[in-house]
Amino acid sequence: MKRFPASRRTISLVAVLALLAAAFGYVALRSGPFTPIPVTVTTVESKAIAPSLFGIGTVEARYTYRIGPTVAGRVKLVHVNVGDMVEAGQQVAEVDPVDLDDRIASQEASLKRAQSSVLAAEAQVRDGAARKTYAETQARRYDELQQKQFVSEEADEAKRQEHQIALANFDAANANLNAARQDIARLRADRDGLIQQRANLRLVAPVNGLVVARDAEPGTTVVAGQAIVEIIDPTSLWVNVRFDQSRAFGLRADLSTTIVLRSQAHKTISGHVARVEPRADAVTEETLAKVVFDQTPEHLPPLGELAEVTVALPELAAAPAVPNAAIKHLDGKTGVWVIEGDALTFVPVRVGASDLDGRVQILEGLKVGDRVVVYSRRDINAHSRIKIVDSLTGNKP
Amino acid sequence: MISLAGRDILHAWGKFVFTGVGLGLLIGVTLTMAGVYRGMVDDAKVLLSNSGADLWVVQKDTLGPYAESSSLYDDTYRGILGMPGVARAANVTYLTTQVRHGDRDVRAMVVGILPNGPGEPGYLVAGRQITRSHYEAVADIATKFKLGERIQIRRNRYTVVGLTRRMVSSSGDPMVFIPLKDAQEAQFLKDNDAIINQRGRTAANPAFNRPGVPGLLDAVIASQSGNPFVNAVLVQIKPGFTAEEVADPIRRWKRLQVYTRAQMEEILVAKLIATSSKQIGMFLVILAIVSAAIVAFIIYTLTLGKIREIAVLKLIGTRNRTISSMILQQALGLGVIGFVVGKISATFWAPMFPKYVLLEPGDAARGFIATMVICALASVLAIRAALKVDPAEAIGG
């Protein structure tokens, strides 16, 4: 009954078996249910948080002038092209007047004819006046002759009647003259009206601006109110921004913002909130606001370009804050995992404001100095075995 | 009493150990195959756990959102929030797509979530949760994205702000979480060429492009480019309610399909991954049978190789029991070494698989018992052969 001889063979065999056993032990501990979950931990600090709001919007012009005729017509000329700068009063397009010019000429002719009619009426008035004076004189003379019994009463009556007729004729001539003058006024007004209409077909720019659209070409028939060219005021560009309603609290006018245009992603442009729209978008659940540039950008962004807008809200008083990765939801409660000694406890908390870097203020439930779990390799629960490490991804977070 | 088995092993321990290692690698493959199967089922389950939902509200008569496509209007959740027992409800979208980063693209499931809503990844390993309502992403670490990298999903670029782990779709694709609004857009958004073609097609339709109705075409195009749909509404229920109590009224009054966790698991495991898991399962069975056969043959041939020595033992009057126990001990020893090597190798190569391989301790235990039983059975064959040996062979043959 002797033991195995402690030969080299035995030693090598034992060594190989021991190695296997060690590797197995390592594997069992590292990959089974007994493996501790690596977690990272942070200490709750009191921090002032500067919350910000983030929204996206499109560049729009505050004032857009859509210039078109007030009556249906055919476009005759378009004088400007997209990209042209125009001045207030500059003609930008013209609608075909069709027969308007001929009608004006006709009115002119009528006017001239009416002026001749006035001359004729004036001549009639003079004629009437002469007849009236003569009849008056004749009537007076016959009156005197009749008193001296030189002429019969009948002859006197006749002269008096002639005088009456001459008076009436004179009044009629005067009335004719008035009518002829009124006619002139009417024809002149008619002609002026046509000239106005004619001028109305020449479309002019109401302001200094930039042509952004040329919607109709010469020959196109447009209906009343349809735009032929669109002009914007380039100094009035703003961003129509949409903020998710659930994170739009505190948005108000005059807050300063940074704007990043999609075409210039590396550059931030400063601006401020011009107004928050009183009417939100009920379908997309977004609050709308207009953000203006503090300085008109050197290179005008195209209308409709996408812009990211970050609105800085006033800094809040310091309060215990944790990273938002630490906030967990368990059984309908919001809370964090607090480490006391080796024990893990889920502490329900009430969360307050948060900033865009992911720091969340805790209004209730935590105090400064508490150690809370931030990152974990798996979901953890109260019975989890944990191992505290610096980082879970190798590099520092 | 000396250990015959130990002596024999020591006599040719290299051969013994290497046979054990070879056997071990085979057992390792079998264990890995079991792990692949478990991983597949686990992927499906982890998808459900990670969504954080108790109920899934999807389009009526569909098996959505994972097994079938489902689309709901994005304001449906408002009505669901008002149902009894609903604590939180949030829209969610799922889209499996290629996520581009530089020259590389990664197949990923893009999940649209509401920040702070159910559906948000439950734990992170680095970075933070999404705080902006647009253009931020939290990615599974398996995508190999790093914090701060810019990735492209369809047209838009997103900044990776957080990393998580084990967030996969039922087919094992890593998840990328982005804000819901962006995800809705990503799901619907066609490429620019398609959009322009669609506009052209609409403009060519005389019903939409009528000369007398300016603005109609624009209105039609605008109405074509909206996407008020989501794939599902995730619901968390209030404590004190059972899932069915909450699900029933929604099914009845909202006329939507509602799945509880158990039903969803049934859909995923029994329907979605049924064929592929059966495929793996079949392979596992064959592999197990082949392994068992190989183990048996190895032990049998090992014993046959020692026929002369056994005959000598018999000649010097060793009892049959001693010989049998020697063979049995050797067989079991081989089994133990094989199992240990198999377990170690499986554990080490499992993480190298592109998809998740879950090595369950239960499977390991079952594997150990199976190995021992097979070894014992195989040794019975060998023992029978050994006992039939004629001691005369020691001198003769």
Residues facing B168 on adjacent strands: B174
Q: What does pTM read for this prediction?
A: 0.80
Structure tokens at B176: 């990328």
Does a structural domain hold residue B113?
A: no
Contact residues for B95 (Cβ-Cβ < 8 A; gap 6+): B109, B110, B112, B183, B186, B187
Phi and psi angles of residue B259, each rounded to the nearest 5 degrees, phi first: -115, 140
Q: Distance between CA A68 and CA A203 in Å, rounded? A: 7
Q: Distance between CA B174 and CA B167 in Å, rounded? A: 6
Nearest to A332 among B238, B340, B361 (CB): B238
The distance of B333 to chain A (nearest Cα, Å) reads: 11
Domain count, chain B: 1
- Mark yes or no for CB contact B122/A328 under 8 Å: yes
Does a structural domain hold residue B27?
A: yes
Burial zone of B25 (CB within 10 Å; 0-12 exposed, 13-18 middle, 19+ buried): middle
At A380, the pLDDT band (50, 70, 90 cuts) reads confident
Contact residues for A154 (Cβ-Cβ < 8 A; gap 6+): none
Q: Distance between CA A341 and CA A324 in Å, rounded? A: 23
Q: What is the pLDDT of residue A2?
A: 44
**Residues in chain B closer than 8 A to A10 (CB atoms):** 10
Burial zone of B227 (CB within 10 Å; 0-12 exposed, 13-18 middle, 19+ buried): middle
Q: Is B150 helix (H, G, I), strand (E, B) or coil?
A: strand
A396 touches chain B (CB under 8 A): no
B239 touches chain A (CB under 8 A): yes
SS3 string, chain A, reads CCCCCCCHHHHHHHHHHHHHHHHHHHHHHHHCCCCCEEEEEEECEEECCCCEEEEEEEEEECCEEEECCCCCEEEEEECCCCCCEECCCCEEEEECCCCHHHHHHHHHHHHHHHHHHHHHHHHHHHHHHHHHHHHHHHHHHHHHHHHCCCCCHHHHHHHHHHHHHHHHHHHHHHHHHHHHHHHHHHHHHHHHHHHHHHHHCEEECCCCEEEEEECCCCCCEECCCCCCEEEECHHHEEEEEEEEHHHCCCCCCCCEEEEEEHHHCCCCEEEEEEEECCCCECCCCEEEEEEEECCCCCCCCCCCCEEEEEEECCCCCCEEEEEHHHCEEECCEEEEEEEECCEEEEEECEEEEECCCCEEEEEECCCCCCEEEEEECCCCCCCCCEEECCCCCCCCC
pLDDT tens per residue, range A28-76: 777 666 678 888 999 998 888 888 899 999 999 999 999 999 988 999 9
Does a structural domain hold residue B202?
A: no
Closest residue in B to A10 (Cα) is B10
A348 touches chain B (CB under 8 A): no
| Averaged pLDDT for residues A189-213 | 92
The distance of B144 to chain A (nearest Cα, Å) reads: 11
The distance of A114 to chain B (nearest Cα, Å) reads: 43
- Mark yes or no for CB contact B228/A283 under 8 Å: yes
Q: What is the pLDDT of residue B396?
A: 63
Q: What is the pLDDT of residue A396?
A: 45
DSSP letters along B41-53, please? Answer: HHHHHHHHHHHT-
- Mark yes or no for CB contact A4/B131 under 8 Å: no
Inter-residue contact B180 to B91 (CB < 8 Å): yes
Closest residue in A to B86 (Cα) is A332
**Residues in chain B closer than 8 A to A21 (CB atoms):** 340
Nearest to B124 among A27, A227, A325 (CB): A325
Helix (H) or strand (E) holding B88: strand B86-101
Q: Is the pLDDT of residue A81 over 80?
A: yes
Residues A258, A262, A263: CA angle, nearest 5 degrees: 115
Nearest to A95 by CA among A198, A213, A214, A191: A198
Inter-residue contact A115 to A184 (CB < 8 Å): yes
- Mark yes or no for CB contact B344/A354 under 8 Å: no
Residues facing A346 on adjacent strands: A337
Nearest to B361 among A10, A16, A33 (CB): A33
Please give the share of chain B, as a percent, with pLDDT higher than 90: 16
Inter-residue contact B124 to A325 (CB < 8 Å): yes
Q: Are strands A333-340 and B229-230 parallel, antiparallel or unpaired?
A: unpaired
Residues A102, A106, A110: CA angle, nearest 5 degrees: 170
- Mark yes or no for CB contact A325/B87 under 8 Å: no
Helix (H) or strand (E) holding B35: helix B13-51
Nearest to B125 among A246, A329, A393 (CB): A393
Q: Are strands B136-140 and B156-164 parallel, antiparallel or unpaired?
A: parallel
**Residues in chain A closer than 8 A to B341 (CB atoms):** 20
Inter-residue contact B178 to B185 (CB < 8 Å): no
Q: What is the pLDDT of residue A5?
A: 54
In this prediction, does ipTM exceed 0.85?
no
B156 touches chain A (CB under 8 A): no
Identify the residue with better confidence: A383 or A190: A190
- Mark yes or no for CB contact B122/A244 under 8 Å: no
Contact residues for B304 (Cβ-Cβ < 8 A; gap 6+): B382, B385
Q: Distance between CA A316 and CA A339 in Å, rounded? A: 28
DSSP state of B238: P
Residue A334 CA neighbour count, 13 Å, CB half: 19
Please give the share of chain A, as a percent, with pLDDT higher than 90: 47
Tokens 């609903």 found at: B86
Mutation to test the B interface, candidates A1, A39, A40, A54, most B Cβ within 10 Å: A54
Does a structural domain hold residue B146?
A: no
At A383, the pLDDT band (50, 70, 90 cuts) reads confident
- Mark yes or no for CB contact A323/B9 under 8 Å: no
A324 touches chain B (CB under 8 A): yes
Q: Is B100 helix (H, G, I), strand (E, B) or coil?
A: strand
Q: Distance between CA B87 and CA A225 in Å, rounded? A: 53
Does a structural domain hold residue B309?
A: yes
- Mark yes or no for CB contact B128/A325 under 8 Å: yes
- Mark yes or no for CB contact A358/B2 under 8 Å: no
The distance of B89 to chain A (nearest Cα, Å) reads: 12
Q: Is the pLDDT of residue A1 over 60?
A: no
Does a structural domain hold residue B331?
A: yes
Q: Distance between CA A84 and CA A208 in Å, rounded? A: 11
The residue segments making up the domain with residue B337 are: 4-44+274-394
pLDDT tens per residue, range A274-328: 999 999 988 888 899 999 999 888 788 888 899 999 998 888 888 899 998 998 8
pLDDT tens per residue, range A333-356: 888 999 888 788 899 999 888 888
Q: Is the pLDDT of residue A4 over 60?
A: no
Identify the residue with better confidence: B300 or A181: A181
Q: Distance between CA B378 and CA B196 in Å, rounded? A: 72
A51 touches chain B (CB under 8 A): no
Cβ within 8 Å of A, B 184-213: 211-212
pLDDT tens per residue, range A229-250: 999 988 889 999 999 888 888 8
Does a structural domain hold residue B330?
A: yes
A161 touches chain B (CB under 8 A): no
pLDDT tens per residue, range B257-274: 999 999 998 888 888 788
Q: Distance between CA A205 and CA B136 in Å, rounded? A: 44
Residues B370, B375, B379: CA angle, nearest 5 degrees: 150
SS3 string, B175-193, reads EEEEEHHHHHHHHHCCCHH
Mean pLDDT value across chain A:
88
| Averaged pLDDT for residues A90-110 | 92
The distance of A255 to chain B (nearest Cα, Å) reads: 18
Q: What is the pLDDT of residue A390?
A: 86
Does a structural domain hold residue B254?
A: no
At A203, the pLDDT band (50, 70, 90 cuts) reads very high
Nearest to A247 among B10, B133, B236 (CB): B133
Tokens 């030693």 found at: A11
Q: Is the pLDDT of residue A102 over 90?
A: yes
pLDDT < 50: residue spans in chain B:
1
B262 touches chain A (CB under 8 A): no
- Mark yes or no for CB contact A16/B17 under 8 Å: yes
At A167, the pLDDT band (50, 70, 90 cuts) reads very high
